[in-house]
Every structure is written in C-alpha cells, then in structure tokens.
Amino acid sequence: MTDLFAPLQSLKQGHWFKLICGASFQHLPAVRSLTLAYTLAGADCIDVAADPAVIAAAQAGLQVAKSLARDAQKRGFDYKGNSPFLMVSLNDGEDPHFRKAEFHPTECATDCPRPCERICPAQAIVFNSIKEDFSGVVSEKCYGCGRCIPICPYDIIYTSSYVSTPGAIAPLVMSTGVDAVEIHTQVGRLAEFERLWQAISPWADQLKLLAISCPDGEGMTDYLRAIYDLIAPLKNALIWQTDGRPMSGDIGDGTTLAAVKLGQKVLAAKLPGYVQLAGGTNSYTVAKLKAMGLLKRAEGAGGAGGATIFSSPSSPSSLPSISGVAYGSYARVLLSPILEQLENKEVSNINIKANLSLEEDDTLLWQAVELAHSLVSQIKSQQER
C-alpha cells in the first residue's frame, strides 16, 4: 500500500519530483527499469501509459525497489521503502503525447543517410535490427516526440494518434490499483473534458491525486478555472501541470524557459491546487526556479490530507511557488546509456535470458540510481535548507 504521507508532503513542501515514462511509451523493460531506478532515487510519482501491461511493469519495478530499500540506504540514498504514486495519463482529444511515428521502410531510398535514426531520442527507429529482425519504428519505444518528421528527406514519416475511450477508463482505474490520474487537455475542449470526467468521476474519490495538464493558449487561465468549476469539490489533491514545451527537455537548457514562464502564468491565476512544471524540464530547471525565487523553502511537518493540501500553495502567508517538477524525455535519456548496456548484454550473451532485469546487474543498477539521484536531488535539496 502506498504511504500517502511522503508524496503529498513533498507537494506541500515544494520538492515534488515526478518521472514521466511517457503517455505513449510502452517498452515494458524500460518502464520497469526507469521506475526502479527513480523510485530508489526518491521520486514521488511515476507517470505511465494507461495500458495494463505498462502499469504492471511499473508495479513490478516498485516492488523490487521496496526489496532494495535497505541496500539503497547503505549506499547513501534516502529511500525508505515508501512507494511513489503510480499515475496514468489520459487525453480528451488529439494530443502530441498520445501518438506514434510510422513509416514504411520499403519506401526509404537505399542511399538515404537516415537522419531519423540518429535524431530519435528513444532509439525507436531501427534498420535491419539483429535483435528485432525489423526495420522501421519500434512502436512500443516511440513516445511521439515527432522530431523524426521534419528531418526526413523524403517526407514519408507520419503519425497515428489515439484518444482515450471513456468507457474503458473507469474499469482500468478500478482494477489496476493506480493512485492518480492525469488528464491532458487543451484550451477550447471543455465539452470533451467533461465527457472524460464523467467517465472517471464515479471513482474519483479512490484516487489520491488528480493532475490536469494543459499547454499555453489564448484564454488558458479562464479555461482552467472552468475545469476547476467542473470537477469541484475534490477530496483528493490537485495538480496543474504546465506543459511548457512538450517532450523537449533533452534538446537543450533553454527549453526549460517555456515551462517556467507558463508556471508563472498559472501561479498568477491563483487556482486552488498545486502548480508543477513539465514540458522542456531538464537539469537547468531547478536552478532557474531557485534563481527566480519560485521554489519554497522547507516548512515544518504538517498534515497530508484534507483542506490543508489546497490552502498551502495559495496561502496569503506565503508567496506563490512551484510545488514540483516533472521530467520526461530528459529523465529517460539520462538513463538511456545504462538501459542500452542492459539490452546489449541480452543480445551479445546467449547465456543471459531475454529481457534481463536491471536489478540482476548490480553494477548497472546502482549506476542508474546514481544518475537518477543526480536529477531527483536537485529539487529534494530544498527540504534540507
């Protein structure tokens, strides 16, 4: 059972860390390994695709992390065996997070330099792969960033999008034991949001947290207020996720500026709930927030439920502040060298079973946790000040 105190207290104190595995990312070994490493590093939330197989892979990673809690503490990591929230992402309409790149490799010119293969951060584009015996987009690895589309010299890469089916969502939440739901929406889709919310709302009380993710747009704050009026009253915590520059955090430090700017805009609206950055977040994000005075210093311990959750972020006694940061592409790419080594071991050594688990290689495991901790600790250091 998830310990509610730790994740919600992180939100209240302003040092919440969320790992975004990707709403379209369905590579089960990677989801399991990312969940394991970031949980041991101290993450508060793991956000995954609303796919039962993906959810099960993340839950497996959480269970392994619990068994390694004492080991982690001996190595100097402040993980006490408390599970982060497990969140699933849903969408109320077309959204770049819910798509896959596709192309027919038979249409590729034989002399093409294949820039798509080089630019793909998920290594989802392969040609004549020995392991997969396949050329094209490995669907379960693609998370829809779209970087391959404009770079294709022959303009043959396209995307396929999908939208959550409301009738399938409630049973999913009921049967898989997730703690939280994030709804991706956009300005002007209130009717679509309402249909999705109606499918979830009969079971909303069993969730620990609801997150609303929305990119910027004309009339955004009015749209978010309309959403709040629709979902209120809530018994669980609420996060407004500011989707600054989606799936771009690994491109360069400057991408975080859009996330910070949008976070400021939502803070200024003084909506009930917490504000958490996403979209373009990377190693520069926390430093930028600190420099701008947008992260609160640690407060004394307090309750983790009820109205306190909603009063803290907009309390007159404290300046508006960002309560946490979610990391997606940057967090995944940070660990990709480790996960790639793990995959290569499976291919090169016939004595190693397929889908070697990260915890089965002690060296790679703790290297991964150390890398994950280098990111998690940036915001967690706030609680020590």
Instruction: Give me the percent of the chain exceeding a pLDDT of 90.
Output: 60
Q: Which residues pair with 99 in a beta bridge?
A: 161
Q: Are 262 and 243 in contact (CB under 8 A)?
A: yes
Q: List, for residues 5-62, the tens digit of each pLDDT value.
A: 789 999 999 999 999 999 889 999 999 999 999 999 999 999 999 888 999 999 999 9
- Which residues, 6 or more positions from 306, have their beta carbon under 8 angstroms from its beta carbon? none
Is the overall model pTM greater than 0.85, yes or no? yes
Phi and psi (nearest 5°) for 9? -65, -35
Phi and psi (nearest 5°) for 183? -110, 120
Q: List, for residues 269-328, the tens digit of each pLDDT value.
A: 999 999 999 999 999 999 999 999 999 864 433 333 332 333 344 443 357 899 999 999
Q: Give the integer Cα–Cα distance in Å for 247 and 244.
A: 9
Confidence (pLDDT) at 212: 97
CB burial of residue 315 (10 Å; 0-12, 13-18, 19+): exposed
Q: Give the integer Cα–Cα distance in Å for 34 and 53.
A: 15
Q: List, for residues 322-369, the tens digit of each pLDDT value.
A: 999 999 999 999 999 999 999 888 655 555 455 689 999 999 999 999
